[in-house]
């Protein structure tokens, strides 16, 4: 017996508890229903099945109690909640055995209904507490259809993203949705709580889960990106996984020091996190956020996205459930004219396209001009010339265009007059002259044109003039 309860045997048998516990729940409720139905003369025959069902329910309740006790020895649960669940489960087993005795002998006629009612109450309470221990306290109420919305269903509204606190408004909602159910005050898997910065810093049984500025060395991030078949993968296989955007936010937060107080604008932003943050801005093509089409698109094909991912181009949704995507070649500097054809299968979904510092040239713009929903186009430091800009006349939705460091001239930018909806244009380090700029600005007065190269005027009060003293 001692050998049986040691090592992996105890945990192996204990893990049958979630399977076994459903048997007494079903059987005992069926026995109660059969007994009530048998009171009808036409259904009196059902009474003969009550005792066998009760016996099976009682035996399975005892087996579930044993397995549950063995599972509890592995730890990871809040002691008070666990003890209450355990004693309620034992009470269900005891009452079910009592019901078997009452049903077998004549006493059952007088005591059956009170005892069975107690059994149903105990069964419901034990099941509810067990669900809380396994899935979190809001497991049953999280998706109530009557007015309330859960953290998993409703993304927090952040009016001013730049001023948002990264931990409170970006990181903590992710942990609430994906991690709290197993790492909270009531359930401490691995001795780890994630429902507060103090607990996160403290870590679990194996020590701290965050190493400042090193996501790849932090268990909190490492376990999120393990293969699904890996036993250490978090969340475990079968539970809702983090989205690519959520992974990127956690990576960025840890990389920048895992601050509990820093705001978005205070932390250094890589091109990858900029894309994610852009996707969190309000959508809908309003005046406040004009870089999103008003209509929605169907979801992009996984196969079409995989073709771009294969060459290092990242494809991410810009907002939940509207179908539109952002495409970034920030990790694919070799992306060039021949690769542009891979964009066409996603032409109805691409709204933001970042091709900065790639080999994208004029012939690629012939393909890009076929993207009818494109609103943002980043072409900084690419071989694009005036000839390519003539192709963009077909991009009627284009609102943002970055041509910094390209070879475009006055001739090319004047072709942009056909893009009447253009709101932001960046021309720093191009061959555009002041005369060409003035002509374009006159033709497009509502377009904000940024030429960079800013110089602050010298103030008289801040300027010292040294004169050589006459002798």
Contact in structure between 161 and 278 (CB atoms under 8 Å) = no
pLDDT digits (tens, 9 = 90+) for 365-419: 999 999 988 988 999 999 999 998 888 888 888 999 999 999 999 998 998 888 8
271-450 belongs to CATH 3.80.10.10: yes
Q: What is the mean pLDDT of the chain?
A: 78
Nearest alpha-carbon partner for 276 in 206, 328, 341, 229: 328
Helix and strand numbers, DSSP H then E, in the chain: 16, 7
What pLDDT score does 123 carry?
78
The reported pTM is 0.47
Q: How far apart are CA 214 and CA 258, in angstroms?
A: 10
Please check the confidence at residue 287 and state whether its pLDDT lies above 80. Answer: no
Q: Render pLDDT for 405-462 as a digit per residue (tens, 0 to 9).
A: 999 999 989 988 888 889 889 998 899 999 988 998 999 998 888 887 544 344 444 4
The H or E element containing residue 402 is: strand 400-402
pLDDT digits (tens, 9 = 90+) for 114-124: 777 787 887 77
Nearby residues of 135 by Cβ (< 8 Å), 6 or more positions away = 181
Q: Give DSSP secondary structure letters for 134-202.
A: HH-TTTTTTT-SSS---TTTSPPP-S-GGGSBIIIIIIHHHHHHHTTTTBSSSBBGGG---SSHHHHHH
Ranking 131-140, 338-347, 384-393, 422-431 by mean pLDDT, the lowest is 131-140
Contact 176, 165 (CB under 8 A): no
3-state SS assignment for residue 326: strand
For the four alpha carbons of 107, 112, 114 and 115, in that order, the dihedral sign comes to: positive
Q: Where are the domains of the chain?
A: 7-135, 161-266, 271-450
Enumerate the β-bridge partners of residue 96. none
Q: Is the pLDDT of residue 29 over 70?
A: yes
How does strand 376-378 pair with strand 314-317?
unpaired
Tokens, residue 18 = 């979630």
Q: Report the alpha-carbon distance of residue 164 to residue 265 in Å, rounded.
A: 8
The strands making up 400-402's β-sheet, listed across from edge to edge, are: 314-317, 325-328, 350-354, 376-378, 400-402, 424-426, 448-450
Instruction: Give the C-alpha separation, 455 to 434, whole Å.
Output: 16
The pLDDT value given to residue 407: 92
Residue 106's CB: how many other CB atoms inside 10 A? 7
Phi, psi angles (nearest 5°) of residue 115: -65, -40
């Amino acid at each position: 017996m001692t050998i049986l309860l040691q090592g992996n045997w105890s945990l192996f048998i204990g893990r049958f508890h979630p399977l076994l516990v459903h048997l007494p729940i079903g059987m005992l409720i069926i026995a109660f229903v059969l007994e009530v139905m048998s009171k009808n003369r036409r259904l009196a025959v059902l009474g003969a099945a009550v005792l066998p069902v009760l016996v099976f329910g009682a035996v399975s309740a005892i087996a579930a109690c044993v397995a549950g006790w063995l599972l509890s020895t592995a730890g990871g649960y809040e002691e008070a909640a666990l003890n209450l669940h355990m004693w309620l489960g034992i009470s269900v087993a005891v009452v079910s055995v009592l019901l078997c005795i009452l049903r077998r002998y004549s006493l059952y006629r007088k005591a059956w209904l009170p005892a069975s009612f107690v059994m149903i109450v105990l069964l419901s309470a034990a099941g509810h507490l067990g669900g809380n221990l396994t899935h979190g306290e809001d497991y049953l109420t999280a998706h109530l259809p009557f007015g309330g919305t859960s953290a998993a269903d409703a993304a927090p509204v952040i009016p001013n993203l730049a001023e948002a606190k990264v931990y409170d408004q970006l990181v903590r909602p992710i942990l609430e949705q994906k991690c709290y159910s197993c790492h909270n005050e009531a359930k401490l898997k691995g001795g780890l709580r994630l429902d507060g910065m103090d607990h996160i810093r403290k870590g679990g049984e194996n020590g701290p889960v965050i190493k400042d500025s090193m996501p790849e060395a932090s268990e909190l991030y490492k376990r999120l990106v393990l293969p699904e078949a890996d036993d250490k993968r978090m969340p475990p296989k079968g539970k809702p996984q983090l989205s690519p955007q959520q992974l990127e936010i956690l990576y960025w937060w840890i990389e920048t020091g895992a601050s509990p107080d820093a705001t978005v604008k205070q932390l250094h932003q890589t091109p990858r996190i900029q894309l994610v943050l852009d996707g969190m801005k309000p959508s809908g093509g309003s005046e406040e956020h004009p870089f999103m089409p008003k209509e929605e698109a169907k979801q992009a094909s996984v196969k079409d996205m995989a073709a771009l991912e294969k060459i290092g181009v990242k494809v991410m949704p810009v907002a939940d459930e509207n179908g539109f995507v952002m495409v970034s070649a920030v990790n694919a500097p070799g992306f060039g004219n021949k690769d542009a054809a891979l964009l066409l299968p996603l032409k109805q979904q691409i709204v933001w396209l970042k091709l900065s510092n790639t080999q994208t040239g004029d012939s690629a713009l012939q393909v890009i001009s076929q993207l009818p929903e494109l609103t943002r186009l980043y072409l900084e430091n690419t071989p694009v010339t005036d000839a390519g800009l003539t192709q963009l006349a077909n991009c009627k939705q284009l609102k943002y265009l970055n041509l910094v460091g390209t070879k475009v001239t006055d001739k090319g930018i004047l072709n942009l007059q056909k893009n009447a909806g253009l709101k932001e244009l960046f021309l720093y380090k191009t061959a555009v002259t002041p005369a060409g700029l003035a002509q374009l600005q006159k033709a497009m007065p509502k377009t904000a044109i940024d030429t960079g190269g800013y110089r602050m005027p010298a103030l008289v009060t801040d300027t010292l003039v040294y004169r050589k003293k006459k002798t």
